[in-house]
Amino acid sequence: MRSSLFLLLIALPLADAFSQPAGGLTLSACYEQAREAHPLSARGTWLLQANALQLEQIEAGRKPTIQWKAAASIQSEVVDLPFQAPGIEPINLPLYRAQSTVEANYLLYDGGLTDARQAMESSALLTRQQEVEVSLEQLKAQINQAYFGILQLRAQREILLATHTDLQNKLGTVQAGVRHGAVLETEADKLEVEIYRLDMRQEETEGQLKGLVAVLGALIGEELSPEVVLILPESDEGLPLEEEVLRPELRLFDLQKQEIQSRQALVDASRRPKVAAFAQAGLGYPNPLNFFDESLSPFGVAGVNFTWDIVDWKKADRDRELISVQQALVDNQREVFLKNLSVQDGRYREELASLDQLIERDRQVMELQEKILAQTSAQLDHGVITASEYLTQVNALLQSRLQLEAHRIRREQVKVDFLTHKGLL
C-alpha cells in the first residue's frame, strides 16, 4: 500500500484553517458549534439578567423609604406631679397610650457605599462570565479526541480494505492452482479464513467509527454523516517556539484580582460618615410631643441624622490586609497554572520528536515488509511455501502499515493538542 494514499486522511492543507469549507468540517468549526450547542452557553444570558436585577436592587438603596408604624402599650404607672400650680388643672396622664405614624427616611450621603457595591457586582459579573469561558474551553479536548479517533479508524479501515482486496486476489490465484492440482485445497481454505477474520475486523472498525462520529455529532449538536469530511488546520512541521499562552484561565485570574480589588472601595466607603434626612407624622394618644395634651392629637417631626464610626478597632485595616492576601493567592494560582503548562510543553515536544523517529522507522520497516511479501507471494504462486507462511508476511505488513498510520495521525494530534493546550487554537 502506498503511504501517499493515507496522507489525505491525516492532513489537508487549508488557505484558511479557521473557516468552514463547503463539504468539510474543520476543528475550529467543531469548537464553535460545540460552544453554541452546550448548555453552558445559555448561562451568559442568565448571568446578565441576574446582574441587572442586582444592580437595580443596589440602586434602590438610594431611594427614600416610607414606613407605616403603629403601636399601643399599657403601663403600671405614669408621671405624677407632687404639686399643683395655681390656676392650672391637674394633669392626669393615662396608663395606656397608642400612636400611628408614617415615617420617611432619605439617605443624603452614604460615603460612596452604593457606588462601591455596584462596582463590585459588575466586577463579579465579568468573573462569572470568564468562568463559563474556562468551562467551555474544556470541550476542545473532547473534540480533539473524537476528531482524531475518527481519522485513526478511517485510516485503519482503508488499510484493512486494501489488505482484504490483496487477499481476495491471491485467493483467486491459489484457487486456480487448486483446480490444476498444483496447490492443496487447504491452502485456499487458510486464505479464506484470514479473509473472514479481516471481515470481522472491518465490521468492528466500522462500528467504532460510527460511534465516534455520533460522539462528535453530539458534541457539536449536529447529526453527522459517517463519511463527513474532516479537515485539519494547516500547521508547521514542528511545534511553535514562542512561549505565548492565550488560555482563558489567565484572563480569569486577572478578573479575580480585579474583583478582589473592587472590595477596597467598599472598605473605604464604610469608613466615611453617613448623612440622612428623616420625617415622621401621625396621630398619638396622648400627644407624644406635648406633655400637657391628653387627647388624640396629630404630630410631626423632621430632621437630619449624622453617623460616623470614629473608631472601628482596625477592622478596615484588617480588611485591606485580607484583600492583599487574597490577591497574592490568585497570583500563586496563576504561577502554578503556568508551571503546569510549562511541564506539559516538554512532554509534547518530546513526544513529537519520538514520533518523528518512529515514523521514519515505520516507513523503513514497511518498505522491507512490502519486498518480503512480494517475494513470498511469488513463492506461494509456485508452491514453494504454504499459505500460512504467506499469511504471516501479510499480517506483518498489515501491522506495519497500521502502526505507521497510527503514528502519523498521532503526530498531527500532538500538534493540535499542543496548540489547544497553549490556547492558540
Each residue's pLDDT tens digit, 280-296:
999 998 888 887 777 88
Q: Among 129-133, 236-240, 387-391, where is mean pLDDT lowest?
A: 236-240
**CA–CA separation, 219 and 136 (whole Å):** 12
And the C-alpha cell for 205? 472498525
Residue 215 lies in a domain: yes
Residue 64 lies in a domain: no
Torsion sign (Cα): 313, 314, 316, 322: negative
pLDDT at 179 over 60: yes
Domain count, the chain: 1
Query: Which one has a higher pLDDT value, 407 or 20?
Result: 407
CATH code at position 410: 1.20.1600.10
Domain that holds residue 141: 4-53+114-270+313-421
pTM reported for the whole predicted model: 0.82
Band of pLDDT at residue 110, cut at 50, 70 and 90: very high
**CA–CA separation, 280 and 268 (whole Å):** 32
**CA–CA separation, 151 and 162 (whole Å):** 17
How confident is the model over 126-165, as pLDDT tens digits?
999 999 999 999 999 999 999 999 999 999 999 999 999 9
How confident is the model over 239-248, as pLDDT tens digits?
766 668 999 9
Query: Which one has a higher pLDDT value, 183 or 83?
Result: 183
Q: So what's the pLDDT on residue 292? A: 73
Q: State mean pLDDT over 187-204.
A: 94
With beta carbons less than 8 A apart as the criterion, state whether 412 and 232 touch: yes
Residue 285 lies in a domain: no
Residue 388 lies in a domain: yes
Find all residues with CB under 8 Å of 225, minimum gap 6, and list them. 213
pLDDT at 332 over 90: yes
Residue 145 lies in a domain: yes
DSSP-based three-state secondary structure for 408: helix
Residue 164 lies in a domain: yes
Residue 171 lies in a domain: yes
With beta carbons less than 8 A apart as the criterion, state whether 373 and 397 touch: yes
